[in-house]
Every structure is written in structure tokens, then in C-alpha cells.
Amino acid sequence: MAFLGTGADYIVWNPDPDIIHLGPVIIRWYGLCFVLVFMTGYMLWQWQMRRMGAKQEYVERWLVWAVVCVIVGARLGHVIFYDPVYYFSQPWKILMVWKGGLASHGATVGLVFGLWLWSYKFKYPFREVIDRFAMSATMGATFVRVGNLINSEIVGRVTDVPWAFRFVRYADRGMYPRHPAQIYEILLGLFVFACLLVTDHFLKEKRPRWLMTGMFFGLYFTGRFFVEFFKEYQTLDPASSLTMGQYLSIAPALGGIALAVYAIIKNPQPPPPLSEQDEPEEGEESLA
């Protein structure tokens, strides 16, 4: 099968989702992308938290928390937002994650909740913890869409634009050319990451707290709202003009914009960085 080719003036997309077969074990590109999600996310967050002066031992514990929060949040998000009747009538299928069905909005909720629990347990200010996770979240969302692209999932609507893809492994077997919506979201993620990286580079620890969080939610979910116009149509109900993804993007987009404006106007002064001597022991109070 051709990985990439052209046909009828459109790009034919037909990659093998499997990397290698080792007996009964199959290593897939999507699984590799998920590994990259956690690796890059953890490394970026560790860099930010250690620059703040957080204890390495506590930072390392987050990795397990993140895996659980992403999988549980993404799965429950898909179940509740996209197909509740199907799953609640057969609840055992909720646990069958390997058969697909993960929602990025649910993963976002899961991560925010997990970060709040982590900051509460280890006594670090939540605004510091979540601000320093913004770049990780952006790259995580980007790598997930790379996996979706290789799997021919989350495809775009039918179109005749010159860069349209024929997704051979999609349900219509590539009969209709479609927007490569996954690539649009990959580019969106890279753009948001660049904005966050530039902001961090110039402001570093002088940046207003909540700014990075507000920028991530405001930029990414505003972009998600508009990208949804090019994705295969999913509605809240048959009479709706918006997709479920758009409904779920409105609140975080507006909230992010408001949070960024608040951070700039209020310009809360950052706390001094922690030293090794100042690091709180588990259960002790840290910076307010």
C-alpha cells in the first residue's frame, strides 16, 4: 500500500498504522505518538517546574498522574459528550479503550483536575503549576493529531481544494476528497506552542501569572472552534448548526481570553523562585 500518492488531482493517504509486528505484539504509530505526548509533555513541564525550584522527586511523580488523568478524562469525555446512550446501555464497553473513543476536551478536563490535585498534595500554587504546563498541553494535543492523521481518524469534510486528501482507510475508502483537518490542528498546535515559547523566552519568571494558561486556552480553543468548520460534521442534535467540538470549545476559549486579559491588567507579581532549602516537604505549606 502506498503511504502517500496522488490520484485524480488529490493526495491519496493510505499509511499502514502498524510499525512492526513482534509475534502477537503489534507496535502502532498511534501508540508511539502517545508515548511522545507523555515524554515531551513531561520534559517541558519538568524544565518549567525545576526552573521554579520545585523538588525533582515531586515532579517525577506527576508522570503517573498524567497518564491516568489523560486516559480517564479523554475516555469519559468521549462517553459523555459524544455517545452516552450507546455506552450507558453497555457500560462494560466504557473500559474498552483500545477500541477507540478518546475526546481531547475530556483529556483537558482530566489534566486540569489532576494538576489541581497534584498542586494541593505537594503544596505548590495552582497558578504556578498550571501555567508551567501550558506548553506541555499544546505539544500533547499536537502529537495526538499526528496519530489521528496516520490512523485516518478525525477527517475533514468533503471538499475540492487542491490539497484535499483521499483517506483510503476511512469509512468511505477514499471515495471523496476531504480536508486534512488533522493537519490543520497540527499546525494550530505548533502555532500556539510557538506563541507560548516566545512569551516564555522574553518574560521568563517575570511573566504575569495565569498568562500562559490564558494564552493556551484562548488561542488553542479559539483555533479549535474554527477548525471544526472543516471537520466531518458532528452535531449536538440534528437541528444544530455547530459541532459538539465547537460547543465544547466556546467556554475554554472565552475563559482563556478573559484569563489572559486579567493577567495582563492585574499583572500579579511572581513569587521568588524556590531554593533547594525552601522546597516544601510533602504536607508542608509552600508559596501562596
Q: Are 183 and 149 in contact, with CB atoms under 8 Å apart?
A: yes
Task: Concatenate the DSSP letters of all residues of 36-48 into one string.
Answer: HHHHHHHHHHHHH
288 residues of the chain, pLDDT tens digit each: 344 444 457 999 999 999 998 888 888 998 899 899 999 999 999 999 999 889 999 999 998 888 899 889 888 888 888 788 888 888 888 887 767 677 888 888 999 999 999 999 999 999 999 999 999 999 999 999 999 999 999 999 999 999 999 999 999 999 999 999 999 999 999 999 999 999 999 999 889 999 999 999 999 999 999 999 999 876 655 567 888 889 999 999 999 999 999 999 987 766 655 554 455 555 443 433
Task: Concatenate the DSSP letters of all residues of 187-215 into one string.
Answer: HHHHHHHHHHHHHHHHHGGGSPTTHHHHH
Q: Model-level pTM?
A: 0.85
